[in-house]
């Protein structure tokens, strides 16, 4: 029993995180040089993300009984994303107004680091709805895969899957080849995951060594408010939704503990995307649903980022003594409904979204971002974990809504009854692909 615990990925990642914090705190000079360890691990996962998504979606759609399901799943997923992220934005705004974390700072706009802000602002290019929709269509399929643009890959994968479905038996050979290719990719994921503890150690050591625990002091109230708000959102909002869908949120979190600790160390949800898709299939959710909801959610269902954007926007306004009326805050909320979408699960992407938000809100200077740059990384961990849990719950909700989830199988897996069949990405065994779950009418 003890031997299996030491060999488990969960235990190894936890030890790595603790070691990373210790090295970062006591040896910051050495810790900042360990950043390549975390970057290498994340890049190792990124190199297979887009082909894994392609294989999963194509095989899932090609095996669907009706193409109407594709539009139905996508439409319901987008509707759910919009409702939940709006709730997250409103909760962040309410807490920021109640707690006033920026009040009393009295920051001087002229003294802010405009150089650091300029680098972020250059990446923030507010888009109209038409521009955003046009950007989803890749100019080249190869370019979409090479750049890892999830939405463009998702679109191409859906079209390819639909095409195979229309071909019927003539497309069966192509589907079989893609399916086998997907299994080989999951094998690569298993090999890369052996390096997860090393990657988590390097990333955490760098974060603590670079920014220091002392960074928390001046902006402690904002960080405390943000952490508390995300926990409230997870427990009350996502917990209620998960329970209504017939799944215990606590059991789901326990089931995803390895992925959550990896995200905690790397501050990136992309580092666990392939494993998330596998584990959700294991819960009895149809591959086609998992393949569409998870990648789309990585851009449209960023609950943690939504809370972050409202709280930091109002924090900057409060710190600069800018009094926003109710109508101005509602205008900010309307802007955030757009700018909070379209970001990938990459560390630091929320800062770019924040810059785009303030650029569209003239009342709050973009230069105010300098107030939160130093602590962004320290807030990113809980932000990424909230995004991760939110997308897991979203997949369950859409699957239940569509009747594409075996609830009894999910409960057995979450209770550990089928633990022997669980894919252990951190074990010495070769990763075995998860089967496509049969459709179950609810």
pLDDT of residue 233: 95
List the Cα angle 402/403/404 in 5-degree steps: 90
Tell me the pLDDT tens digit for each residue of 30-60. 888 888 888 888 788 778 888 888 888 888 7
160, 165, 194: which is closest to 53 by C-alpha? 160
- The answer to whether position 431 is within a domain reads no
Separation in Å, CA 247 to CA 41, 250, 389, 393, 397: 32, 9, 13, 9, 10
Exposure string over 200-233, b if 16+ CB within 10 A, otherwise e: bbbbbbbbbbebeeebeeebebbbebbbebbeeb
- The answer to whether position 95 is within a domain reads yes
- Six-digit token string for 40: 């290498």
Q: Which residue has the higher pLDDT, 221 or 280?
A: 280
- The answer to whether position 432 is within a domain reads no
The residues, ordered by sequence, that sit 6+ positions from 196 with a Cβ below 8 Å of its Cβ are: 9, 12, 13, 41, 262, 426
- The answer to whether position 434 is within a domain reads no
Domain of residue 203, residue span: 2-421
The residues, ordered by sequence, that sit 6+ positions from 253 with a Cβ below 8 Å of its Cβ are: 260, 389
| Residues paired with 404 in a beta bridge | 440
Stretch among 95-109, 112-126, 278-292, 342-356 having the lowest mean pLDDT = 112-126
pTM over 0.85: no
Q: How far apart are CA 277 and CA 289, in angstroms?
A: 10
Torsion 348-346-393-128 (CA) sign: positive
Q: How far apart are CA 207 and CA 34, in angstroms?
A: 10
Most confident of 5-9, 102-106, 225-229, 355-359: 225-229
Q: Report the C-alpha dihedral over residues 339, 343, 346, 348, rounded to 10 degrees.
A: -10
Exposure string over 133-157, b if 16+ CB within 10 A, otherwise e: eeeeebeeeeebbeebbbbbbbbbb
- The answer to whether position 127 is within a domain reads yes
Tell me the pLDDT tens digit for each residue of 320-336. 888 888 888 888 888 88
With 70 as the cut, is the pLDDT of residue 211 above it? no
pLDDT of residue 421: 43
Q: How far apart are CA 176 and CA 169, in angstroms?
A: 11
User: Is residue 168 within 8 Å of residue 230, measured between CB atoms?
Assistant: no
Count how many domains the chain has: 1
pLDDT of residue 218: 52
- Six-digit token string for 57: 């979606």
DSSP 8-state class, residue 369? G
- The answer to whether position 438 is within a domain reads no
With 70 as the cut, is the pLDDT of residue 216 above it? no
With 60 as the cut, is the pLDDT of residue 231 above it? yes
Q: What is the mean pLDDT of residues 184-195?
A: 83
Separation in Å, CA 170 to CA 56, 65, 165, 174: 19, 16, 9, 8
Question: Model confidence at 128, in pLDDT bands (50, 70, 90)?
Answer: low
- CATH number, domain of 40, equals 1.10.3860.10
Query: What's the mean pLDDT when you consider all of the chain?
Result: 78
In sequence order, what DSSP letters do the residues of 38-79 get, joined into one string?
A: HHHHHHHHHHHHHHHHHHHHHHHHHT-S-THHHHHHHHHHHH
- The answer to whether position 428 is within a domain reads no
């Amino acid at each position: 029993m003890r031997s299996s615990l030491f060999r488990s990925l969960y235990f190894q990642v936890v030890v790595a995180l603790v070691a990373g914090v210790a090295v970062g705190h006591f040896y910051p000079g050495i810790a900042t040089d360990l950043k390549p360890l975390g970057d290498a691990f994340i890049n190792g996962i990124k190199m297979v993300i887009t082909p894994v998504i392609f294989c999963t979606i194509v095989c899932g759609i090609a095996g669907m009984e009706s193409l109407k399901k594709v539009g139905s799943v996508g439409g319901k997923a987008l509707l759910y994303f919009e409702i939940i992220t709006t709730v997250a934005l409103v909760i962040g705004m309410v807490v920021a107004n109640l707690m006033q974390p920026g009040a009393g700072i009295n920051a001087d706009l002229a003294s802010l680091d405009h150089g650091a802000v300029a680098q972020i602002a250059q990446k923030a290019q507010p888009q109209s709805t038409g521009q955003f929709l046009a950007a989803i269509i890749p100019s080249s399929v190869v370019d979409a895969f090479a750049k890892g643009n999830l939405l463009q890959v998702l679109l191409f994968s859906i079209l390819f899957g639909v095409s195979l479905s229309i071909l019927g038996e003539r497309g069966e050979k192509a589907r079989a080849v893609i399916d086998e290719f997907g299994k080989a990719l999951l094998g690569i994921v298993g090999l890369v995951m052996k390096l997860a503890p090393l990657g988590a150690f390097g990333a955490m050591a760098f974060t603590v060594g670079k920014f220091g625990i002392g960074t928390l002091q001046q902006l402690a109230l904002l960080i405390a408010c943000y952490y508390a708000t995300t926990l409230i959102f997870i427990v009350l909002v996502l917990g209620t939704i998960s329970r209504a869908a017939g799944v215990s949120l606590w059991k789901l979190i326990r089931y995803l503990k390895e992925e959550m600790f990896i995200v905690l160390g790397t501050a990136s949800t992309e580092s666990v995307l392939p494993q998330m898709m596998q584990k959700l299939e294991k819960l009895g959710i149809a591959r086609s649903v998992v393949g569409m909801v998870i990648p789309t959610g990585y851009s449209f269902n960023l609950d943690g980022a939504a809370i972050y954007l409202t709280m930091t926007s109002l924090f900057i306004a409060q710190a600069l003594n800018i009094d926003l009326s109710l109508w101005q805050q509602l205008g900010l909320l309307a802007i955030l409904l757009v700018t909070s979408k379209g970001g990938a699960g990459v560390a630091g992407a929320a800062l770019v979204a924040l810059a785009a938000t303030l650029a569209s809100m003239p009342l709050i200077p973009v230069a105010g971002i300098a107030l939160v740059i130093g602590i962004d990384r320290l807030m990113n961990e809980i932000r990424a974990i909230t995004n991760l849990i939110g997308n897991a719950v979203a997949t369950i909700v859409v699957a239940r809504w569509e009747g594409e989830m075996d609830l009894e199988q999910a409960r057995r897996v979450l209770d550990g009854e089928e633990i022997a069949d669980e894919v252990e990405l951190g074990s010495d065994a070769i990763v075995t692909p998860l089967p496509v779950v049969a459709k179950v009418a609810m």
